[in-house]
Chains A and B, each alone.
Chain A
Amino acid sequence: VSSFLAGARVLKYAGLSGFQDYATMFTLKSWLLGWFLRVLAQVTFFALIGELIGSTARLHFILVGNAVMLASMEAMGAVPSTTWERRAGTFPLLIAGPTSPVVVLMGRSVQWLPSGVASATGAFFLLGPLFGLEMPFPRVLLVVPLIVLVALSTYMLGTFLGALVLRAMEARNLVFNISFMTLMAMCGVNVPLEFYPEPILSLAQVLPLTHGLLAIRGVLESAPASEIVLRVGLEAGVGAFWLVMALLAFRRYLEAVRRDGSIEFAA
């Protein structure tokens, strides 16, 4: 019990450290007038393609996809921010400490979760009515916990990729951008999943966002509860899979840098 409590305490401080990083980037004012306006413009930009095509149904499909996508995009911020810990030069201290450094590495990017959830829900509830999206009340409120689920499952993929880029820190921003855009391209954000060829469709099943987004679309289209529950389960399962992968990747990385003596290198 005491080691669990110690782990929880370390996780809390890792999270606080992440929030401190976030506070150096944004104040509430700069978040609202800078970042939030940007994400609203991002969703609007894609939704307007529906207008260009001349289909309201497409417009609404793209709007929902891109609003929810914001949660995933920000959760993928875990890719670069995982490397910030190495840049800070704290790895030797973390390894020498009594709690596993993996706890710190899993917790030090959680600041992206509330930010992503706020961006996604804000964009969804502000732009949805503006573009005439039907929002069946109170069912529509289910969208909020589903966005949280999407953010969490994507965070696991983000930390896994973060563990990989610890070996190539200069590629952190490149990997971040390519990975969230790949999600945008492959997870049914802009086109229905049936559009994809079989290999892409299979890959999309093990990526975060795919099932969570389907669950959200199901809520909006009044799909049977069983279908929504199934999608929630699949999204959580995908998140759990990437969590295990992230833990393994961190463990492997830490063993390797201890063995080859490169632990103090902060590129």
Chain B
Amino acid sequence: MRAFRAGARLQLDIIGGSPDYLMEFATAPLFTLIFLMILRAGGREDLSSYAVLAPILILLWRQALTISGEVIDSDRWFGTLEPGIGAPAPLHWVVTGRISAVSIMGLLGVPETWLVAYLFGSEVSVHHPVVLVLTVGATILATTASGLLMSTAFVATRSARTFQNSLSYPFYVLGGVLVPVSLLPDWVQPLSRVVFLSWSADLLRDSLQPASIENVSPRLIVILLLAGLTYAVGRRSLSYVIDRARSTGTVGLA
């Protein structure tokens, strides 16, 4: 647990030192504004809650992709991966702590987008606060797991890094972050259901609607199962990447 906390503290220090790490907080209000404008111009202000939730999910995903995804690779660049591996604390706990800090920090996007909606004159109410909090918690866990998987994938294969910037919008569509998956073509929907964002987005939207929500527990369990599965694969990939780098003598290759 100490390694986890130390990793989280380290990551917060790193984030505080570079404006690039705060990028998503700068773009989230613009996303909110654009979505709200489209809905208002289209006479669908009843969907304002969609416009507030989508930028939060985009922010979390983007952070997993860019900041968390680069945790191990940047250590390699800075030459700190060798001491990290050599230290007695398990590396996966340090990495998980760092990525968790990124994901939790992403929650600052919640008041941010809500404030933009308020200033824009759109009212968004929370009708099921418990569901909202539980879904946000599960989403943070799933985002952390995705960040771990990406951070190892980007180190395992250089070609994966080429596609780093390309994993944004395809997942926003598949994950139904703004437009529900039910509006996507039938053949896409099964694919969407293996992306945790689709479950999170649906449940978060439902938590802001007055209607009662069906199947809350099973839907939350699906998010947690996807998170657990992704984390298990990420952890295994991390071991594989580190073992391979050790055996080939490429730990410190930048």
Contacts and interface: CB of A to CB of B under 8 A. Distances in A.
Interface of A: 25-26, 30, 33-35, 37-39, 41-42, 44-46, 48-55, 58, 62, 170-171, 173-174, 177-178, 181-182, 184-185, 190-192, 195
A171 B23 CA distance: 10
Contact of A174 (B23, B166, B169): B23
A43 B39 CA distance: 17
B173 interface: yes
B27 interface: yes
Interface stretch (B42-50, B81-89, B139-147): B42-50
Contacts of A54: 44
Interface residues of B, number: 38
Contacts of A38: 165-170
A52 B47 contact: yes
Contact of B34 (A25, A42, A50, A185): A185
Interface majority SS on A: helix, strand, loop or mixed? helix
A35 B41 contact: no
Contacts of A174: 19-20, 22-23, 26
Contacts of B169: 38-39, 41-42, 44-45
B34 A37 contact: no
B172 interface: yes
A45 B162 contact: no
A171 B183 contact: no
Interface majority SS on B: helix, strand, loop or mixed? helix
B26 A184 contact: no
Nearest to B20: A173
Interface in B11-50: 18-20, 22-23, 26-27, 30-31, 33-35, 37-44, 47, 50
B244 to A, nearest CB: 23
Given A45-B178, A184-B34, A191 B41 contact: yes
Contacts of B22: 174
B115 to A, nearest CB: 17
26 contacts: A34-B165, A35-B165, A38-B165, A45-B169, A46-B38, A48-B184, A49-B39, A51-B183, A53-B39, A53-B43, A53-B47, A170-B20, A174-B19, A174-B20, A174-B23, A177-B26, A178-B26, A178-B30, A181-B30, A181-B34, A182-B30, A184-B34, A185-B33, A190-B38, A190-B41, A191-B38
Nearest to B39: A53
B163 A34 contact: yes
A45 B172 contact: yes
A37 B30 CA distance: 23
Most chain B C-beta atoms within 10 Å of own C-beta, residue among A49, A58, A182, A191 = A49
B27 A190 contact: no
Nearest to B47: A52
A185 B50 contact: no
A53 B38 contact: yes
Given A38-B166, A177-B27, A53 B37 contact: no
B12 to A, nearest CB: 18
Given A191-B38, A195-B37, 7 more contacts: A38-B170, A41-B173, A58-B38, A182-B30, A184-B30, A185-B37, A192-B41
Given A30-B162, A181-B30, A52 B179 contact: yes
A44 B30 contact: no
B157 interface: no
Contacts of B248: none
A187 to B, nearest CB: 11
B176 to A, nearest CB: 9
Nearest to B24: A177
B159 interface: yes
Given A170-B18, A174-B19, A185-B33, A62 B38 contact: yes
Given A30-B163, A34-B162, A48 B183 contact: yes
Contacts of B44: 52-54
B173 A178 contact: no
The 7 A-B residue pairs whose C-beta atoms are closest, nearest first, are: A53-B42, A41-B169, A38-B166, A34-B166, A191-B41, A48-B179, A41-B170
